[in-house]
Amino acid sequence: MSGSVLVAPSLLAADFADLGAEMARAEAAGADWHHVDVMDGHFVPNLTIGPPVVAALARRAAVPLDVHLMIERPAEWAERYAEAGADRLTFHYEAAADFPAALEAFAATGRPVGVAVDPPCGVEPLRPFLDRIDLVLVMSVKAGFGGQSFRPEVLAKVEQLRSWGFAGRIEMDGGIDDRTAPRCRAAGADVLVSGSWLFGREDMAAGVATLRGGPA
Ligand code: DX5
Ligand code: ZN
């Protein structure tokens, strides 16, 4: 595990009428990445943005775009999102009918390969493929909506991945705040996504520092 914990504010909780300004606010607060939630209304019931908006965000972003694809048939879209300007791409294990083929399609984009699992999905199916995965996103809520409560039972999956020697990034997303972040870090997560808690801070920089932990 790398020693540094990265913080990725989720733009899902930002003002969608002013995304450029919201990205600047997150960057000024010390955000390491922008977390961008792409939802297709099929894999998850909610609907957000697609490649044109990702491209617009990429033109304005000063830190990497961490694009979380909550979409069906992710392999068919990997290249489109990479071309749009996603710096990092994460797709859901549950959404890929042919997982090895999806891994290949995402690796072919040249971007780090991220794989997400929703709370009911274990990490055992990922184990044979971990040498081809740069980041595992352990969802701490069911993907689809911001503002849900953290599900502590998923922490065991983070510990399991580290016990197997997985040295890539482990990201957690959903219900991350000042109380749940220390538990995520202790389990071995090193990328923390936060939407409603972080964007709800008057002092977002203090919020980012709190989530990152360690010396201020
Ligand atoms: C949920 C998204 C999250 C969401 C997190 O499906 O993947 O990124 O924005 O929001 P909070 O931090 O409010 O739980
Ligand atoms: Zn997300």
- Tens-of-pLDDT digits for all 216 residues of the chain? 446 999 999 999 999 999 999 999 999 999 999 999 999 999 999 999 999 999 999 999 999 999 999 999 999 999 999 999 999 999 999 999 999 999 999 999 999 999 999 999 999 999 999 999 999 999 999 999 999 999 999 999 999 999 999 999 999 999 999 999 999 999 999 999 999 999 999 999 999 999 999 765
**Residue 102, pLDDT score:** 98
How many angstroms does the Cα of residue 151 sit away from the middle of ligand 2?
15
Q: CA 20, CA 29: separation in Å to the nearest integer?
A: 14
**Residue 215, pLDDT score:** 62
Residues recognised as catalytic: 37, 173
Residues 55, 109, 143, 6, CA torsion sign: negative
* Structural domains present in the chain: 6-212 (3.20.20.70)
How many angstroms does the Cα of residue 173 sit away from the middle of ligand 2?
6
Q: CA 204, CA 178: separation in Å to the nearest integer?
A: 12
Q: Given ligand 1 and candidates 7, 10, 40, 149, which is best to mutate, with the most ligand atoms within 8 Å of its CB?
A: 10
Q: CA 176, CA 157: separation in Å to the nearest integer?
A: 16
Q: Terminal CA-to-CA distance of the chain, rounded, Å?
A: 21
Instruction: Look at phi and psi of residue 144 and say left if phi exceeds 0, alpha if psi is from -120 to 50, else beta.
Output: left
| pTM reported for the whole predicted model | 0.97
Q: CA 105, CA 92: separation in Å to the nearest integer?
A: 13
